[in-house]
Amino acid sequence: MKKLRKIHRFQNEAGTDEAGRGCLAGPVTAAAIILPKNFTHILLNDSKLLSHKSRDFLRPLIERGCTSFGVAHVHPQEIDEINILNAAIMAMHKAIDQLTIAPEFIIVDGNRFKSYKEIPHECIVKGDSKYISIAAASVLAKTYRDAYMEALHAEYPMYNWKKNKGYPTKEHREAIRTYGLTPYHRRSFRQLPDQLNLDLW
């Protein structure tokens, strides 16, 4: 496993990442985190490369070991209004808002971001597999979003969100075809491959 780098430019820098951007239902969720210079864990990596069990194991270790962290959701109605890219950036800004220490620098997973309070930033493609703070943010974003979707599953079990987490699986799309859309679905997304009209709840 490739070793993650501790910092990019500054010790007091925040890493941020999002989860759920490609989902048909539920929020886009972002996390931001500042880690102390001595933080490390052999399992920590891009959340997409980790098992559900490993992510859940790491979450409390990250939360206890960090200097500060924040997690924020932006919900489907807002995603539909401002588009998913703007919603993902908004979620990252809201997560950074929750940090109890203002970072000197922000490193962002991906290639798009908007300046936050004049704090310098850099976008890093595949940053969650390069820098430990972005990897930690990816784990928090993913685990918090998964927990949110599992809670929604109790309200709408026919979509099996506890398993697919709102992603466009065949099972999820068949449920949409059968039962229609819920208030948690993103109406600006193409819900079905041959979508014409769907009954909106």
Mean pLDDT on 26-45: 94
Do 131 and 45 meet the contact criterion of CB atoms below 8 Å apart? no
> Rounded to whole angstroms, what are the CA distances from 168 to 52, 117, 126, 130?
19, 35, 22, 28
Residue 5 has pLDDT above 70, yes or no: yes
pLDDT tens sequence across 72-88: 999 999 999 999 999 99
Q: What local confidence, expressed as pLDDT, does residue 7 receive?
A: 67
Residue 97 has pLDDT above 50, yes or no: yes
List the chain domain ranges.
13-153
Q: What is the mean pLDDT of the chain?
A: 93
Q: What local confidence, expressed as pLDDT, does residue 10 receive?
A: 72
* Distance, CA of 96 to chain centre: 13
Tally of CB atoms within 10 A around 136: 32
CATH number 3.40.190.10 given to 13-153: no
Q: What local confidence, expressed as pLDDT, does residue 194 receive?
A: 63
Rounded Cα distance, 196 and 26, in Å: 22
Residue 196 has pLDDT above 90, yes or no: no
Q: Which of 183, 36, 78, 77 has its CA nearest to residue 93? A: 78
What three-state secondary structure class fits 68? strand
Range with the poorest average pLDDT among 91-95, 178-182, 188-192: 188-192
Rounded Cα distance, 192 and 90, in Å: 27
